[in-house]
A and B are shown apart, each in its own frame.
Chain A
Amino acid sequence: MSTLITENLGKGYRIYRKPSDSLKELLLRRTYHRTFWALQGVTFRCEQGESIGIIGANGAGKSTLLKLLAGTMQPSEGVLTIEGRVSAILELGTGFHPEFSGLDNIRMGCAMLGLNAAETRDRIPEIIAFSELEAFIEQPVKSYSSGMYVRLAFAIVTCIEPELLVVDEALSVGDQHFQKKSINRMNHFRQLGKSLIFCSHNLYHVKELCSRALWLHQGKVAASGEVGEVVDAYQDFVRQKDRLTIATAPPTTTGKDQESDLTTLPQLLNVTLDRPGELPLYRSGDPFCVSVSAHRGTITMEDIHVGIVITRNDGVQCYGVSTAVDKISLTAGTDGCFSVRYQIDALPLLSGEYFLEVWYIDATSVHIYDSRNPCCPFKVRQKSVEVGMVWLPHRWEQD
């Protein structure tokens, strides 16, 4: 059974020049606004016991979507069906009354979630215990730190055992201990057959907690599906955007006219991967091979070296090495051409998009004859759930 079904859900914010225009519109029934669509055409469903992570950049529409799910805002278009009770933590806190004490806010929160006085009384000890705010529960909430605030909020919204729990970026302000506790509670929730919608910039948490993910980009669904795939795709996209130092220009080649310069200037002729396609896919652990062919020009082979750097698409250099560093002597044929293969038996890279920098250099690595930068983009997908960039050789030991 589906706990949550959305069909073509959309939310448009009306932008007015001044607040009174909105009032005029209401009274005169004429249009004074332009519409900004924060969310459009969002269709997904969440089955009982399923947890879905919502990811995306700032302003992608995540908070809008969660507000719609929590019911604090009405959709402008589309259908939203929720079976059962929803409780939500949106941004910081569930909407506390700052002047009230923690205890009063617990009572208020429970009353607003529809509990009567007796039900509330039964739950208060558990809520206080979970929030670990025993010493401060009589203090007004305005004196709480943001961590205390979210602890209280989380304790309240989870105590009523809703059918659907909506959590927006709430864990980030809690300390490690509380994060762990909340994650345990959310996992426990799922085991009880409740559903979870979880939004976070901490992609690790999303992977931990969710089985599926929804990636929102500029108000639309960019991808949805199995959590690993969607998170990886999103990370590729973010790194691509973050790239600062690496030129976005097409691959550069310094040799202008290949025919005439071939015999005098050393130059790269070809750089290829062992897999075809614009963005070939490798799995972590696959064999990986780059073939480089070049012409030595009039330079002696002692002064000819090739360097290859594997760089992630956000500009982080993963590993770079050259024939000069490895003390490899290259030999060329009688026509001055040669080719060399850069071979990795088991690619240790983790999920991400990468590309190569290929440098054609002299023995001192200072003079650059030619380069291809960037070139040969490729994609890596991992099978397991490690985090980071590269698999490091390791083992676990116990005394």
Chain B
Amino acid sequence: MPLRQHLVTLLHYRHALLLMLRRDIQQRVIGSAFGLLWLIIQPLFLLVVYSVVFGFLLKVRFGAEEDTLAFSLYLMAGLLPFIAFQESLQRAGTTLADNHGLIDRSNFPPLLLPIMAVLTSITAELLGLIILIFAVWIIRGTLSPWLLLLPLLIGVRLLLSFALASFISVLTPFLRDLNQVIAMLLTLLFFATPIIYPSSLIPADWQWVAMLNPFYYLVESYRNVIIIGKPPLPGFYLLAAGSLLVSLVGLWFFNKAITRAKAFL
């Protein structure tokens, strides 16, 4: 199927997509005791733990700033996109199996499932970012105009997530242990990316590893526009282009393999 037709399909099903998205948020918010707070309880919990261990005890510092509170801001700017990314991929891994009744017995386009897996991750991220921006504004008293680029960053984060989610979702039915492998790779990525430490802590002869890590550009760019007040890294645009390219390949591969994958759900 050519790309244009995919877009037409998506347009055709936008009501269904919006409905699912709204329902997903309602479901997570209404059923739980903490309501909206529950959406970001996990990032906040991690934020506190890492801030205490790395910021307060180990005295890890970003840039010239010398207090634990500043560490928490930097940490949160990296943690939020990462957790959203992680959630996207983990959901993508199970989404076909979870919804196989839907795609088996109706004309529901399977492609919507990885898209949903990625899109639903945006609610918690947005909520966290609003809190973060508010905190930066309170502490610094001012916000950078580069913040206007944040929607673009989130867009690229979604694109990067979809690029991988499209492959993961359609490969899982063939390779049952893929989910465990992904979980391990995500842990590795978390520690390989300067999220709980500044990139300056990476030894000079290991810097190339950071340069090869796509998430490095994303995290640093989030920090630049929200906290530091600088434009995104130049590598970020390369990442955007790369994510778009891989997404298109992923789209193609997903549609190529989905009929086969459905047989093993």
Name A residues whose Cβ lies closer than 8 Å to a Cβ of B: 13-14, 19-20, 22-23, 26, 70-72, 74, 88, 90-91, 93-100, 104, 107-109, 111-112, 114, 116-117, 120
Contact = CB atoms under 8 A, between A and B. Distances in A.
Q: How large is the interface on B (under 10, 10 to 19, 20 to 34, 35 or more residues)?
A: 20 to 34
Interface of B: 12-13, 15-16, 19-20, 23, 27, 99, 101-108, 171, 173-176, 256-257, 259-260, 263-264
Chain B interface, >50% SS class:
helix
A29 B130 CA distance: 49
B209 to A, nearest CB: 29
A94 B263 contact: no
Contact of A95 (B13, B105, B171, B264): B105
B265 to A, nearest CB: 10
A23 to B, nearest CB: 4
Contacts of A97: 20, 23, 99, 102
Contacts of A71: 107
A108 B19 contact: yes
A20 B175 CA distance: 6
Nearest to A110: B15
A111 B171 contact: no
Most chain-B CB neighbours within 10 Å: which of A19, A109, A120?
Answer: A19
Contact of A100 (B12, B23, B104, B260): B23
5 contacts: A20-B174, A26-B260, A95-B101, A112-B13, A112-B16
A115 to B, nearest CB: 8
A22 B23 contact: no
Contact of A112 (B104, B106, B174, B264): B106
Nearest to A74: B259
A23 B15 CA distance: 33
Given A19-B175, A22-B174, A104 B263 contact: no
B257 A96 contact: no
A93 B105 contact: yes
Contact of B20 (A93, A98, A108, A117): A108
A22 B101 contact: no
B19 to A, nearest CB: 6
Given A108-B16, A108-B19, A111-B19, A95 B106 contact: yes
B106 A19 contact: no
A379 to B, nearest CB: 40
Contacts of B171: 23
Nearest to B109: A112
B19 A107 contact: yes
Given A97-B102, A111-B13, A116-B15, A19 B107 contact: no
